[in-house]
């Protein structure tokens, strides 16, 4: 079951509008995809189970690498403490979006959140009712 409301019960776009009055109203096209501005070269849609491989790629690309250092080996994704951020996507309260290029239809970025509990803390754990957020843009699309 996906979470479409914030913990306060507001729909996610509504919560964003309350937090930021300048937040643009979200528009959905006929396929249920979100467009924030017509002139953007990408569209956003909700993450689904078929995006698992891309989520692992975005997880890898979201790993902090100090300037001048080499990125870690991709085997890091097999570590349980890393995998848990995206593994078996679609569990209760998982929520996120994928950005897709309008022309090529390639996935170019993602933002996702997942809740953890005290017995299964993530690196940014604060409490059971505050999710951890991941975000990444494909390195070929960064400016």
Q: Tell me the pTM.
A: 0.72
Q: What is the mean pLDDT of each run of 10 residues along the chain (143 residues)?
A: 42 47 54 60 92 97 94 96 96 94 95 95 93 94 81
Full domain range(s) for residue 26: 12-141
pLDDT at 6: 40
Per the domain annotation, does 47 fall within a domain?
yes
Looking up residue 52, the CATH number of its domain turns out to be 3.40.630
Instruction: Identify the H or E element spanning 112.
Output: strand 107-114
SS3 label, residue 108: strand
pLDDT at 142: 82
Domain count, the chain: 1
Distance, in Å, from the CA atom of 46 to the CA atom of 20, rounded to the nearest integer, reads 21
3-state SS of 17-54 is HHHCCCCCCCEECCCCCEECCCCCCEEEEECCHHHHHH
């Amino acid at each position: 079951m996906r979470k479409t409301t914030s913990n306060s019960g507001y729909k996610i776009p509504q919560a964003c509008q309350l937090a930021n009055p300048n937040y643009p109203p979200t528009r959905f096209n006929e396929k249920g995809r979100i467009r924030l501005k017509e002139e953007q070269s990408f569209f956003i849609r909700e993450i689904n189970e078929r995006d698992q491989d891309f989520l692992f790629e975005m997880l890898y690309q979201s790993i902090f690498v100090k300037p001048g250092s080499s990125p870690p080996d991709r085997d890091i994704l097999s570590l349980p403490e890393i995998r848990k951020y995206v593994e078996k996507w679609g569990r209760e309260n998982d929520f996120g979006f994928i950005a897709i290029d309008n022309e090529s239809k390639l996935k170019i970025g993602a933002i996702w959140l997942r809740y953890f509990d005290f017995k299964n803390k993530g690196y940014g754990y604060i409490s059971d009712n505050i999710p951890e957020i991941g975000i990444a843009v494909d390195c070929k699309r960064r400016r």
